[in-house]
Amino acid sequence: MSEAATAQELLICIVKDHHLVEEILMGFLELGIRGATVLDGRGMGQILSTEVPIFAGFKSLFPGGSSGTYVIFSVVEQERVAQAMELAEDVCGDFARAGTGFLFTVPIGRVKGLAAEIR
């Protein structure tokens, strides 16, 4: 396969509610973003407050509580990154609010293996 020709970024969005994940993915489709991977995860606070007895009493100090965490990965063309990030904020609310999640991108130098319809 040939390398993708357009500049792209890896968008990583971490959210606490699976319903929000579904909304984000549907929104990505509407923006023309055709590929994403979602992983289940657990944050530091979730692990410490449930698996390390000494921290169990501090559960309320960790934003996001004990619910699941979902990590969305998507390779996005640079011209769609701002729209994708705006969509995620519209769905999740202000990421500056503790326990909401967070969102960032990482520049991608080279990409191989993307299906033609995603490129």
Q: What is the pTM of this model?
A: 0.78
* Those residues with Cβ within 8 angstroms of residue 17's Cβ, 6 or more apart along the chain or in another chain: 67, 70
Domains of the chain: 8-108 (3.30.70.120)
pLDDT tier for residue 9 given thresholds of 50, 70 and 90: very high
pLDDT of 22 higher than 80: yes
Name the more confident of 16 and 52.
16
Q: How many helices (H) and strands (E) does the chain have?
A: 3, 4
What's the mean pLDDT in 75-95? 94
pLDDT tier for residue 118 given thresholds of 50, 70 and 90: low
Side-chain-side CA neighbours of residue 45 (13 Å)? 17
